Structure 1
Amino acid sequence: MTKFRLKLTTLFVLLIGFSVLAAGLLMGNSYQRNHQNALRDHMIRELHVLNAATPWPEDGDVAEQSAYLEQEAKRFKEIAGMRVTYIDLNGKVMGDSDHEPATMDNHLSREEIREALEGGTGTSVRYSDTLRENMMYVALKVGGENGGPAKGIIRLSMSLGDIERSLDNMWLALIFGLLLLFAVAVVVSYRVALSVTRPLERMTTAAKRMANMDYAIRVPESGRDEMSELARALNAMAGSLQGQLDEIRQNGTRLQDVLDNMISGVVMIAHDGRITLFSKQAEFLLGGTARERVGRSYSEIKQHYELTGLIRESLASPMPLHDELTVYYPEERLLEINIVPMKMSGEDEPGLLLVMQDVSAIRKLERMRSEFVANVSHELKTPVAAVKGFAETLLAGAVNDPETARSFLTIIQDESDRLNRLIGDILELSKIESRRAPLQFSPIELPAFLARMTELLGTEAARKNIELDVQVEEGLFLEADEDRLGQIVMNLMQNGINYTPDGGKVKVRAFVVTPEDGAEEFVRLTVSDTGIGIPKKDIPRIFERFYRVDKARSRSSGGTGLGLSIVKHLTELHHGTIRVESTVGIGSQFILELPLIQP
């Protein structure tokens, strides 16, 4: 913009300078012409006065006339200060105020003499070699009025030096004034150019910042001229663009937030196979990052051969596609894939939108539900079948045999009790899983609490001659739901009693653990036995519903297969953990860890 300002200033200065120079030249020429015309008119009047004062002699010979005219010429020179020359009609000089006539050339060819002979007066301006300056010559024909004969020509000549010196002074003044005017014009032009270019500079700067998507810039818009109107229009456009950009950014942020928080992975692929969008959930499901994937071909996802095959098929024949496939990277998952062809902005051919969701947990839950229904049906069918069979036997006549009838009725009663326990455990587990029974936390004194548990199970342990060894820190309190904690400990101790041979031992230990990393203290409660133990392959599934290591032994012990599952769910509701360590033939140890104070 500085160059433009200099160009504009130079243009203004040149226009003013040329205008002033042209005016000066016109004025100088006009001054010179007017001055010469005035001088010529004056000289013509002088010639008439001279002719009237000194008429052309008519008597005497040529020598006498010449002497007389020369004398008069010199006398008039002294009076008027102008050179006077008398010339006859043939161009011969008869008298001159400055030179001897005899030494002078014939003047018939002189311009002013020819004009005087033809028209009565003549004028010319030429350089005088004698005086070495420009001279003005004015000639007047004498005689010839009223049809009389012409007598000769009187010529006055006057130096133009004074006029030229005056013109020189005028030109000096004009040049000085022009330079002064140039200086003023430079200052004024610069100020004018600055007033024109400064708003343009501001608007240019604003336009460049707008081109860089900085729409917060504003141009000063005070005034009512065209520049101010343009500035207001530019500010209005910047405000509108700023609003639209903010809305676009908000929409983009909202869309990005939606994509980042969707449980489904989203991938967009252009018609040429380039990945244009790779959401965070897609990173989690397929591995890699958006920075690594976006802009590159889908075929570079080498770890998912089946998925790239589906994409290749959809690009070849764009049609909606739904499928489920298993991926093994970054970990094994079952993915539900939906592929939809869609046109993207600026592209004629359709690309693909992939929406994928991890359905591993859903399918696992469906499988577990099916297994649960099958297990429940099987577990209910066994006691019902036994009750039905023995009842039919009794109805068939076995009731008449008192000993057989008593035996069968005892079995029916045992199976009914088992069926009742099973239904109770199923209802209890359902209630716990659905969280319909919220826990009521309160401080529990563990020594007294475990003493009550030991007392409740003492008869059952004594029946198998099993020793119950309980050791707990004195004054140890734990925040928990007393009834639910009782279920946990009762189940663990009953399992220890049921799966420990006669004469065995069940130990219960409870103590506070302080982690080294500064975390919250917790209570560790262990229940160990000297029973048959659990094979290592069965340990990961020991807390599943209806899972039994030894099904025959479990039924004979009266277990329903739901106790440990109930224990695990109740432990999680207490924000704790439970695990098992076991060696076959030596025994098992269940390790329960609960927070000292509930969060």
Structure 2
Amino acid sequence: MTKFRAKLTFILIVLIGSSMLIAGIFMAKVLENSHVKSLQENMERELKVIASSGVWDYQGTESELFQFYTAQAHRLKEATNERMTYVRADGKVLGDSDQLPEQMDNHLNRPEIAAAIAGGIGYTTRYSDTLKEKMLYAAMPVKNPAKVTIGYIRISMSLEQVDQSIRSLWYFLISGLLLLFLVAGVVSYRIAKSITHPIEKMTKVAQQITNMNYESRVPTYQDDEIGQLGVAINRMSESLQGQMARIQENERRLQGVMENMMSGVMMIDRDERIMLLNPSAETILGFSSQELLGKKYNEAKQQFEFTKLIQECIELQEPISDEMMFYYPSERILDIHLSPIAHEDEEWSGVLIVLHDITAVRRLERMRSEFVANVSHELKTPIAAVKGFAETLLAGALNDKETAVSFLQIIFDESERLNRLIGDILELSKIESKRIPMHFSPVYLPEFLERSLSVLRKEAEKKHIELTMQVEEDMYIEADEDRLRQIIINLLSNGIAYTQEGGKVKLRVEPLDMNADGDYERLRLIVTDTGMGIPKKDLPRIFERFYRVDKARSRSSGGTGLGLSIVKHLVEMHKGTIRVESEVGIGTKFTIELPVIH
């Protein structure tokens, strides 16, 4: 509105100034013409007086003529203060009050002379190269008693006085114009302000409403059209404020639901562009909303089967549900539901997609199925052995004492194996269900590890395996001693079981994260062997229940396939981590990192 006020003021000033400028130009021109006209009349009278009183028929040589008429021109200039020139009938200058006549050009072609020849008297205004100023010239023919032109007399005067008068007029006009501009600017500004000020306030309020500031109100004005407009704007602002409050509340609720949903939500509009993506959908699809929003679904670098499913829903405009394997950003199974969106005024306006990550559910189902199958298989093998050898004994093998003892030993070994399997299953079940209480206490590692290794030394000596330990003195850790021993013995037992005769199994402890006082905050326990190693394809699964790399050898060694799974759970209960590195034919290294203090 300030621009409008300025424009209105500017237009008014321009109109006033233009009018005064035009009037000033007209007045200056009239004044100049009037002044010049007056000068011409005076000059005409002077020429007539000079022509009647002067001697113009002087005879003599050219040099004498120059002297005579030049002297006469000087006398006339002293009397009139005007330049005087006498020109012979052929254009030759015989005398001049300001210049030497013999050096002057022929003047027959001068405008004032030509005008005098044609009309009896001639006038012209031009810039004089001789005097370097603007001059007014007047010329009149001089005739003898026989009315024959014998020459021309010319007088000229400077127009500096006329120009000075015009300049004075212009100074007056410009001063008055500036004063008028100032007065007109102040008056027009106040008039424009009185008109535009209420509208400015309303405009600001409207802009604030546009910027969602619905608390802004228009001040109360007189009860006219502008006042009524202000009241209407205030009512509209109050209505919008209430509506926006409800909309914002609904948006907050919807945003809270969308951001905290475990399922991914994706919306595609009728132009097939992705318009909505919640955080869960970003995580599931592996792309941020900045990368996908606004793009067409078939240009969003999504899995081909997923894109095909969206296209099918758009074409059929019917709900579709499907289960699909995704491989990016990680391998997972998704339950996908696509529903066409339709409004009352439109048949179809987009597609709503809901993504459920059911990878954990399917993995749990697979693990449950595998667990049942593995347990059944593991239980069936010793039971079948016990049953088979018992039937053989019942069939008459008892009479052969040596055979009977051998069979009974096998039955005993299988029952022991069955007992260990059931014990490990119960142990793992309690660990996974968090039903095992942890009793943390300080453990002196050198003594603790030596006792743990002594349990397995006889087993290692049977295979001529070198069992060693490397641990610094004065190393302590806060842990559940029984569970920590179970971890160490399980790992060392595995190393001995899968290492050939004459191999090595080593336990090493290293301090980690030394602080400024020289104390360590974490410990690293490393168990290495020189055994057969684990193929790379099996490394990700060795901590699964009943998973065996070499199934035949595992059974022959008496393993249940649950040891590493129990170790992993016990390490995690100590807030630690475990990882494995292995090369086939070289050996395996298990690395455990545990906090020193809980």
Q: Which residue of structure 1 lines up, in the alignment, with residue 333 of structure 2? A: 334
Tell me: CA distance 1:439–1:246, structure 2 relative to 1, closer, same or farther (3 Å).
farther
Pairing 1:257–2:235 present: no
The secondary structure found in structure 1 opposite 2:474 is coil
How far apart are residue 306 of structure 1 and its match?
Answer: 1.8
Question: Contact 1:218 / 1:238 at 8 angstroms: preserved in 2?
Answer: yes
Deviates most, 581-590 or 403-412: 581-590
* 3-state SS, counterpart of residue 531 of structure 1: coil
CA distance in 2: counterparts of 1:3 and 1:340, whole angstroms:
53
Determine if the alignment matches structure 1 residue 210 to structure 2 residue 209.
yes
Q: Note the residue ranges of structure 1 that are not aligned, 5 or more in a row.
A: 7-185
Letter in 2 for 1:450: L
1:582 alignment partner, SS class? strand
CA contact 2:511–2:520 (8 Å) conserved in 1? no
**Residue 415 of structure 2 is aligned to residue 390 of structure 1:** no
Please list, as runs of the form range in 1=range in 2, the aligned pairs for 1:577-592 lying within 5 A after superposition: 577-592=577-592
State the AA in 1 paired with 2:385: A
- 8 Å contact kept, 2:441–2:480: yes
- Which amino acid letter does the alignment assign opposite residue 542 of structure 2? I
1:306 aligns with: 305
Aligned length in residues: 421
User: Compared with structure 1, are the counterparts of its residues 5 and 584 closer, same or farther at alpha carbon in structure 2 (3 Å cutoff)?
Assistant: closer
Instruction: Look up the equivalent residue of 1:264 and give its one-letter code.
Output: S
Q: Could you say if the C-alpha distance between residues 297 and 434 of structure 1 is closer, same or farther in structure 2, counting changes exceeding 3 Å?
A: same
3-state SS of the aligned residue for 2:543?
coil
Q: Assess, with a 3 A threshold, how the Cα gap between structure 1 residues 280 and 586 changes in structure 2: closer, same or farther.
A: closer
Deviation at 1:236, TM superposition (A): 5.5
AA matched with 1:445: Y
- How far apart, in 1, do the equivalents of 2:305 and 2:526 lie? 48
Deviations 1:126-169 (A, max 9, x none): xxxxxxxxxxxxxxxxxxxxxxxxxxxxxxxxxxxxxxxxxxxx
Instruction: State whether residues 270 and 344 of structure 1, in contact with CA within 8 Å, keep that contact through their aligned partners in structure 2.
Output: no
Q: How does 1:377-456 map to 2 (within 5 A)?
A: 377-456=376-455
Deviating more after overlay: 367-376 vs 211-220: 211-220
1:19-58 residue pairs with structure 2 within 5 A?
none
Cα pair distance change 1:279/1:225, threshold 3 Å: same
How far apart are the structure 1 equivalents of 2:441 and 2:363?
36
- Give, in whole Å, the separation in 1 of the partners of 2:362 and 2:581: 30
- The 3 A distance-change label for structure 1 pair 204 and 399 is same
Structure 2: tracts of 5 or more residues without a match: 7-185
2:427 & 2:502 partners in 1: Cα distance?
Answer: 32
Relative to structure 1, is the Cα distance of residues 311 and 464 closer, same or farther in structure 2, using a 3 angstrom cutoff? closer
Contact 1:571 1:577 in 2 (8 A): yes
> Are 1:277 and 2:276 counterparts?
yes
User: SS of 2:323's equivalent?
Assistant: strand
Cα 1:208/1:506, change in 2 over 3 Å: closer
Aligned twin of 1:28: none
Give 1:512 shift. 0.5
- Give the partner amino acid of 2:431: I
Q: CA deviation at 1:472?
A: 1.1
Q: Equivalences for 1:61-80 in 2 at 5 Å?
A: none
* TM-score of the superposed pair, with normalisation by structure 1: 0.62
1:529 matched to which residue of 2? 529
Range moving further from structure 2, 340-349 or 476-485: 340-349
Aligned to 2:130: none
Root-mean-square deviation (CA, aligned residues, Å) is 3.7
Matches within 5 A, 1:558-573: 558-573=558-573
Partner SS state of residue 509, structure 2: strand
Counterparts of 1:96-175 in structure 2 under 5 Å? Answer: none
2:456 corresponds to: 457
The one-letter code of the counterpart of 2:295 is: R
1:594 and 1:5 map into 2 onto residues whose CA distance is 78
Higher mean C-alpha deviation, range 462-471 or range 415-424: 462-471
**1:462-506 deviations in whole A, cap 9, x for unaligned?**
444444322211111112222211110010111122223444432
Using the alignment, how far apart are the partners of 2:525 and 2:207 within structure 1?
Answer: 73
In structure 2, what is the Cα distance between the partners aligned to 1:593 and 1:578?
7
CA distance in structure 1 between the aligned counterparts of 2:398 and 2:494, rounded to whole angstroms: 36
User: In the alignment, what sits opposite 1:546?
Assistant: 546
Q: Are the aligned partners of 1:267 and 1:353 in contact in 2 as well (CA < 8 Å)?
A: yes
Distance apart, 1:428 and its partner CA = 1.3
Distance 1:481 1:240, change over 3 A: farther
Inter-CA distance 406–474: structure 2 relative to 1 (3 Å threshold): same
Q: Give 4+ residue runs of structure 1 displaced > 6 Å after superposition.
A: 1-6, 190-193, 222-230, 515-520
Partner of 2:375: 376
Contact 2:340 2:348 in 1 (8 A): no
Deviation at 1:397, TM superposition (A): 2.3
Which segment is superposed worse, 332-341 or 217-226? 217-226
User: C-alpha displacement at 1:447, in angstroms?
Assistant: 1.2
SS, match of residue 296 in structure 1 = coil
**How many angstroms apart in 2 are the aligned matches of 1:568 and 1:464?**
27
> Which has the greater radius of gyration?
1
Report what 2:576 is aligned to. Answer: 576
**CA deviation map 1:15-42 (0-9, x unaligned):** xxxxxxxxxxxxxxxxxxxxxxxxxxxx
**CA deviation vs aligned residue, 1:354-400 (integer Å, no higher than 9, x gap):** 11123333323322222222111111100111111112222222223
SS in 1 for 2:374: helix
Query: Residues of 2 paired with 1:340 and 1:192: CA distance?
Result: 60
Q: TM-score, normalised by structure 2?
A: 0.62
For residues 400-444 of structure 1, the C-alpha deviation after alignment (integer angstroms, 9 at most, x for no partner) is: 333222222221111111111111111111222222224333322
Identity percentage over the alignment? 60
